[in-house]
């Protein structure tokens, strides 16, 4: 058996493989492209493509694909084989530089929000050489960005790469002001903790709701849930351990730095976290991780549920996005420093993030908005829909001292002067353990906790990078023009904290009183996707994206349409699935049971003249529940039909939220009550108990 160190990255055309397989000059040219984004000319691309192909064939690959992330949120691929016919009726295996750097998938069926109607019908994919090619199954996958011929982004990666360029540019300006001239590039880094559920596949296969929507639309609570907290960090069952071991092996081969794994709070819920890496690579790796989790689960007779809320009444699944900014000289810009100057620089970057999160709280909320995530945010679950920041008591004390121009340490009477005084050391632990904050400073990075488990991390990081870049731009403009750097720096940090401290909240984010307090502070509480999206095209948001060249206004409008449409379509599928399950499974099952009860009632009466009280009572109750369920099904059908007459997508989304979802909830209540009264042998669906405690 080979060791982890030998197999790690064995399916990746990474740095060491390139070094080994490419001629020296080609390798150097590739390095320049990867590190500094230098254009790769076709000659070099041809050499790289050929080496890549030979390597891939050695590893058993027969096909290649441009692997990309369309607006559906999952990855897309279209395989082409390497074969090329020769004159003697045979084939050779070929892969050209042109095929490597550019592809033309038929894009007409990907969501474009009307972009293609106004521009080109087709799109093309372009290689992102900073994310290594890898082999999946028998296919060499080339990570790419996906654009229309007019240059409009049709995917989630293009804007992410653009946002990384922006923050690079602005952070470099700021660093220069602090005398850091050796830094040539700044990149954001991300590590995402991925939560998921595992249930037995044979149970999944018997539930249309899971098959069509990824979540249970019916289901009474099981007698036991997560109340004992006995699952969190509990010992991992052998079957799950075997699954995790296979997942790790697959991910390591793909060069994904899978690091930690543990049981989560809800029964059947688990988490996997990698070691952080550059944001675009982290985004690719997270997509791969989600795919590997699902594929490996099937091999173990399990299904991995990535939906944000597969089960009512127990915790949903999120994805914590740990984010920081690092220089190519290895400095983490969100790490408090050792010297006054380093500290001043840290405080400036910190205030930039504070200002960015406050000013663009709506966009951050939107970047995590989805029908699935609405069940977590704004539904009394971690974290709330209000965006706020936790920075810990130590750092808060320092910011307060700066803001109020008072002394931080009462023993020292001196005022805290940025750039002059050394800041006290903040012990990491004191910043680490607020679990309820949507956006928490955890010592040397921020943890954005609002992302849903199935989301692509690209959206959130595009917003975060762009917003911080915009603020840094303003800071750099101001400080570059300054004649007294230290004073102006001090005042800038002080004023930024004064203006934006409302976003800082170090208390319990689950507390009801916080929501009231947040409202008083003027923070937004956008509980659902349609409410959040209503802010997407606000003037300041259009300005942010267009001025930073992340999106044109047309691209923004198309994205807005796609997000709303997606929401409506998902709810529509859920509603139709409920109607189908109710009419064809639940109501008939209850009816059969009622008949059997009625038969018993009649038989007992006839043979003994007695009343079969259990049967009679249950029969009556279930009969009336079934009548009520029928009425609710009809009401839901009417609600669904009502959607057909609404043309405007924003109104349609609100209609689904205000009319269809409540009708779904009403039907569920009745059906779930029937479940609790129907004999197990009659109930057509695996129960919550079966699913949540079924992996043994
Ligand atoms: P938690 O305590 O929140 O459960 P862990 O420490 O297990 O978190 O995971 C935190 C995640 O943050 C890991 O994926 C880790 O690699 C990542 N991380 C650490 N430092 C950075 C950084 N500088 N930038 C981005 N992510 C980071
Ligand atoms: Mg975490």
pLDDT of 20 strictly over 70 = yes
Average pLDDT value for residue range 406-433: 56
Most confident of 63-72, 149-158, 233-242, 599-608: 599-608
Average pLDDT value for residue range 625-654: 97
Q: What is the largest CA-CA distance in the chain?
A: 104
Per-residue pLDDT of 511-545, as tens digits, reads: 889 999 999 999 999 999 999 999 999 999 999 99
CA of 462 to the centre of ligand 1 (A): 19
CA of 687 to the centre of ligand 2 (A): 31
Average pLDDT value for residue range 408-415: 51
pLDDT of 693 strictly over 50 = yes
Q: Report residue 82 as tokens.
A: 């390497």
- Measuring CA to CA, which residue among 239, 570, 586, 528 is closest to residue 384? 528
Query: Of 155, 189, 205, which residue constitutes the final position of a domain?
Result: 155
Whether residue 190 has its Cβ less than 6 Å from ligand 1: yes
- Does residue 249 sit in the same domain as residue 377? yes
The CA distances from residue 94 to 13, 40, 51, 73, in Å, are 17, 20, 11, 31
Query: Of 139, 155, 171, which residue constitutes the final position of a domain?
Result: 155
**Residue having the nearest C-alpha atom to atom 17 of ligand 1:** 191
* 147 band by pLDDT with thresholds 50, 70 and 90: confident
pLDDT of 119 strictly over 90 = no
The CA distances from residue 322 to 266, 451, 461, in Å, are 22, 11, 10
Tell me how long the chain is: 696
- Ligand 1 binding pocket mutation candidate from 262, 273, 335, 433 (most atoms within 8 A of CB): 273
CA of 369 to the centre of ligand 2 (A): 19
- What is the domain-level CATH number for residue 22? 3.10.20.70
Whether residue 444 has its Cβ less than 6 Å from ligand 1: yes
Give the span between the Cα atoms of 208 and 205, in whole angstroms: 7
- Does residue 628 sit in the same domain as residue 671? yes
- The neighbouring-strand residues paired with 19 are none
In a domain, 380, yes or no: yes
CA of 294 to the centre of ligand 2 (A): 22
- Ligand 1 binding pocket mutation candidate from 164, 191, 332 (most atoms within 8 A of CB): 191
Whether residue 278 has its Cβ less than 6 Å from ligand 1: no
- Does residue 400 sit in the same domain as residue 435? yes
Per-residue pLDDT of 540-573, as tens digits, reads: 999 999 999 999 999 999 999 999 999 999 999 9
Whether residue 445 has its Cβ less than 6 Å from ligand 1: yes
pLDDT for res 491: 93
Per-residue pLDDT of 49-86, as tens digits, reads: 999 999 999 999 999 999 999 887 788 888 899 999 99
Whether residue 323 has its Cβ less than 6 Å from ligand 1: yes
Contact call for residues 440 and 390 (beta carbons, < 8 A): yes
- CB neighbours of 438 closer than 8 A, spacing ≥ 6? 383, 384, 386, 387, 388, 389, 448, 449, 450, 509
Q: Report residue 203 as tokens.
A: 């149970």
- Does residue 524 sit in the same domain as residue 632? no
Ligand nearest to the CA of 320: 2
* 410 band by pLDDT with thresholds 50, 70 and 90: very low
- Does residue 150 sit in the same domain as residue 189? no
- Ligand 1 binding pocket mutation candidate from 272, 322, 443, 465 (most atoms within 8 A of CB): 322
Neighbours of 494 (CB within 10 A): 18
CA of 440 to the centre of ligand 2 (A): 9
pLDDT for res 118: 45
Q: Tell me, what DSSP letter sits at residue 501? A: G
Contact call for residues 408 and 416 (beta carbons, < 8 A): yes
Q: Work out how many domains the chain is built from and give that number.
A: 3
Whether residue 187 has its Cβ less than 6 Å from ligand 1: no
Q: How many CA atoms lie within 13 A of 370 on its CB side?
A: 23
Q: Determine what percent of the chain is predicted with pLDDT higher than 70.
A: 94
pLDDT for res 415: 53
Give the span between the Cα atoms of 183 and 331, in whole angstroms: 9
pLDDT for res 411: 46
Give the span between the Cα atoms of 317 and 372, in whole angstroms: 10
In a domain, 557, yes or no: no
In a domain, 441, yes or no: yes
- Measuring CA to CA, which residue among 566, 367, 534 is closest to residue 449? 367
Give the span between the Cα atoms of 263 and 346, in whole angstroms: 35
pLDDT of 422 strictly over 70 = no
In a domain, 368, yes or no: yes
Average pLDDT value for residue range 174-193: 96
Q: Tell me, what DSSP letter sits at residue 40? A: P
- What is the domain-level CATH number for residue 542? 3.30.590.10
- 3-class secondary structure, 398: helix
Backbone angles phi, psi at 595, to 5 degrees: -65, -45
pLDDT of 444 strictly over 50 = yes
CA of 273 to the centre of ligand 1 (A): 8
pLDDT of 418 strictly over 80 = no
Q: Report residue 133 as tokens.
A: 């090619």
* 164 band by pLDDT with thresholds 50, 70 and 90: very high
Contact call for residues 120 and 149 (beta carbons, < 8 A): yes
**Residue having the nearest C-alpha atom to atom 14 of ligand 1:** 191
Mean pLDDT of the chain: 91
Backbone angles phi, psi at 209, to 5 degrees: -65, -40
In a domain, 301, yes or no: yes
Kindly give the number of the ligand 1 atom that is closest to the alpha carbon of 323.
25
**Residue having the nearest C-alpha atom to atom 23 of ligand 1:** 324
* 43 band by pLDDT with thresholds 50, 70 and 90: very high
Whether residue 260 has its Cβ less than 6 Å from ligand 1: yes
- What is the domain-level CATH number for residue 616? 1.20.120.1560
* 160 band by pLDDT with thresholds 50, 70 and 90: very high
CA of 276 to the centre of ligand 1 (A): 6
pLDDT of 312 strictly over 70 = yes
Cα of first residue to Cα of last residue in the chain, in angstroms, is 28
Whether residue 373 has its Cβ less than 6 Å from ligand 1: no
Whether residue 567 has its Cβ less than 6 Å from ligand 1: no
- Does residue 464 sit in the same domain as residue 509? yes
In a domain, 558, yes or no: no
Whether residue 274 has its Cβ less than 6 Å from ligand 1: yes
- Does residue 113 sit in the same domain as residue 189? no
- Does residue 351 sit in the same domain as residue 488? yes
- 3-class secondary structure, 84: strand
pLDDT for res 608: 95
CA of 373 to the centre of ligand 1 (A): 22
Contact call for residues 263 and 233 (beta carbons, < 8 A): yes
Query: Of 100, 134, 155, which residue constitutes the final position of a domain?
Result: 155
In a domain, 149, yes or no: yes
Kindly give the number of the ligand 1 atom that is closest to the alpha carbon of 326.
23
Q: Report residue 587 as tokens.
A: 């109501």
Average pLDDT value for residue range 597-620: 96
Average pLDDT value for residue range 412-426: 57
- Does residue 519 sit in the same domain as residue 611? no
pLDDT of 36 strictly over 50 = yes
Give the span between the Cα atoms of 254 and 293, in whole angstroms: 13
Ligand nearest to the CA of 272: 1
Backbone angles phi, psi at 193, to 5 degrees: -85, 125
* Range of the structural domain that residue 137 is part of: 4-155
Most confident of 334-348, 381-395, 439-453: 439-453
Neighbours of 173 (CB within 10 A): 15
Whether residue 275 has its Cβ less than 6 Å from ligand 1: yes
pLDDT for res 426: 56
Give the span between the Cα atoms of 630 and 74, in whole angstroms: 37
Residues around ligand 2, an ion, CB closer than 5 A: 193, 320
Of residues 150 and 458, which shows the higher confidence score?
458
Alpha-carbon dihedral of residues 646, 649, 650, 652, nearest 10 degrees? 40
Contact call for residues 436 and 383 (beta carbons, < 8 A): yes
Q: Report residue 516 as tokens.
A: 């009231």
Average pLDDT value for residue range 412-438: 60
CA of 352 to the centre of ligand 2 (A): 22
Kindly give the number of the ligand 1 atom that is closest to the alpha carbon of 275.
16
Whether residue 276 has its Cβ less than 6 Å from ligand 1: yes
* 2 band by pLDDT with thresholds 50, 70 and 90: confident
- Does residue 391 sit in the same domain as residue 527? yes
pLDDT for res 120: 47
In a domain, 61, yes or no: yes
pLDDT of 144 strictly over 70 = yes
pLDDT for res 424: 58
- Does residue 573 sit in the same domain as residue 533? no
Contact call for residues 79 and 139 (beta carbons, < 8 A): yes
pLDDT of 594 strictly over 90 = yes
- Does residue 643 sit in the same domain as residue 592? yes
- Ligand 1 binding pocket mutation candidate from 187, 193, 331 (most atoms within 8 A of CB): 193
Contact call for residues 185 and 653 (beta carbons, < 8 A): no
CA of 309 to the centre of ligand 2 (A): 18
Quote the pTM value: 0.94
Give the span between the Cα atoms of 452 and 215, in whole angstroms: 14
Kindly give the number of the ligand 1 atom that is closest to the alpha carbon of 191.
14
């Amino acid at each position: 058996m080979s060791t982890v160190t030998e197999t790690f990255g064995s399916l990746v055309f990474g740095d060491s493989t390139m070094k080994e397989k490419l001629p020296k000059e080609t390798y150097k040219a590739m390095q320049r492209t990867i590190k500094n984004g230098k254009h790769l000319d076709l000659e070099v691309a041809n050499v790289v493509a050929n080496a890549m192909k030979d390597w891939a064939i050695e590893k058993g690959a027969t096909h290649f694909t441009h692997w990309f992330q369309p607006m559906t949120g999952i990855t897309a691929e279209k395989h082409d084989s390497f074969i090329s016919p020769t004159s003697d009726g045979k084939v050779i295996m070929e892969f050209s530089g042109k095929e490597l750097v550019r592809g033309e998938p038929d894009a007409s069926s990907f969501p474009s929000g009307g972009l293609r109607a106004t521009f080109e019908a087709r799109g093309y994919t372009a290689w992102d050489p900073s994310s290594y090619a890898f082999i999946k199954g028998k296919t060499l996958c080339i990570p790419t960005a996906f654009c229309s011929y007019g240059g409009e982004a049709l995917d989630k990666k293009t804007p992410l790469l653009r946002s990384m360029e922006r923050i690079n540019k602005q952070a470099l300006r700021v660093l220069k002001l602090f005398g850091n001239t050796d830094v040539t590039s700044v990149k954001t880094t991300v590590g995402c903790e991925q939560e998921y559920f595992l249930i037995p596949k044979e149970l999944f296969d018997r539930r249309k709701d899971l098959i069509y929507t990824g979540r249970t639309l019916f289901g009474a609570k099981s007698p036991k849930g997560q109340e004992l907290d006995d699952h969190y960090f509990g010992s991992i069952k052998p079957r799950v351990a075997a699954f995790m071991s296979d997942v790790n092996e697959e991910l390591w081969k793909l060069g994904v730095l899978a690091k930690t794994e543990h049981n989560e709070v809800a029964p059947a819920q688990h988490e996997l976290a990698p070691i952080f890496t550059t944001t675009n690579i982290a985004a690719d790796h997270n997509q791969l991780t989600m795919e590997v989790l699902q594929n490996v689960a099937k091999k173990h007779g399990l299904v991995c549920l990535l939906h944000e809320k597969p089960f009512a009444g127990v915790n949903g699944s999120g994805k914590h996005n740990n984010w920081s900014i690092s220089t190519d000289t290895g400095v983490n810009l969100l790490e408090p420093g050792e010297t006054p100057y380093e500290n001043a620089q840290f405080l400036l970057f910190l205030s930039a993030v504070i200002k960015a999160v406050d000013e663009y709280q709506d966009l951050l909320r939107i970047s995590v908005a989805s029908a699935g995530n609405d069940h977590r945010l704004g539904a009394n679950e971690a974290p709330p829909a209000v965006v706020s920041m936790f920075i810990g008591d130590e750092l808060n004390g320092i910011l307060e001292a700066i803001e109020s121009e008072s002394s931080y340490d009462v023993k020292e009477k001196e005022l805290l002067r940025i750039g002059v005084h050394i800041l006290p050391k903040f012990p990491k632990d004191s910043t680490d353990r607020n679990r309820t904050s949507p956006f928490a400073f955890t010592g040397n990075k921020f943890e954005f906790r609002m992302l849903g488990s199935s989301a692509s991390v690209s959206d959130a990081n595009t917003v975060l990078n762009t917003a911080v870049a915009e603020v840094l731009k303003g800071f750099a403009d101001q400080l570059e023009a300054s004649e007294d750097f230290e004073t102006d720096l001090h005042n800038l940090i002080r004023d930024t904290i004064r203006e934006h401290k409302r976003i800082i909240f170090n208390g319990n984010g689950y507390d009801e009183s916080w929501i009231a307090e947040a409202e008083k502070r003027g923070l937004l509480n956008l509980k659902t996707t349609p409410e959040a999206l209503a802010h997407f095209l606000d003037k300041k948001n259009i300005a942010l994206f267009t001025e930073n060249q992340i999106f044109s206004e047309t691209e923004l409008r198309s994205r807005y349409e796609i997000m709303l449409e997606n929401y409506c379509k998902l709810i529509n599928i859920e509603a139709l699935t409920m109607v189908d399950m109710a009419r064809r499974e639940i109501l008939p099952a209850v009816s059969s049971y009622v008949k059997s009860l009625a038969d018993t009632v009649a038989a007992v009466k006839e043979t003994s003249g007695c009343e079969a009280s259990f049967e009679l009572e249950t029969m009556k109750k279930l009969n009336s529940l079934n009548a009520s369920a029928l009425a609710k099904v009809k009401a839901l059908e009417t609600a669904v039909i009502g959607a057909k007459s609404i043309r405007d997508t924003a109104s349609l989304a609100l209609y689904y939220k205000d009319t269809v979802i409540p009708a779904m909830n009403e039907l569920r209540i009745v059906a779930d009550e029937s479940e609790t009264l129907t004999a197990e042998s009659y109930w057509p669906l695996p129960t919550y108990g079966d699913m949540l405690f079924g992996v043994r």
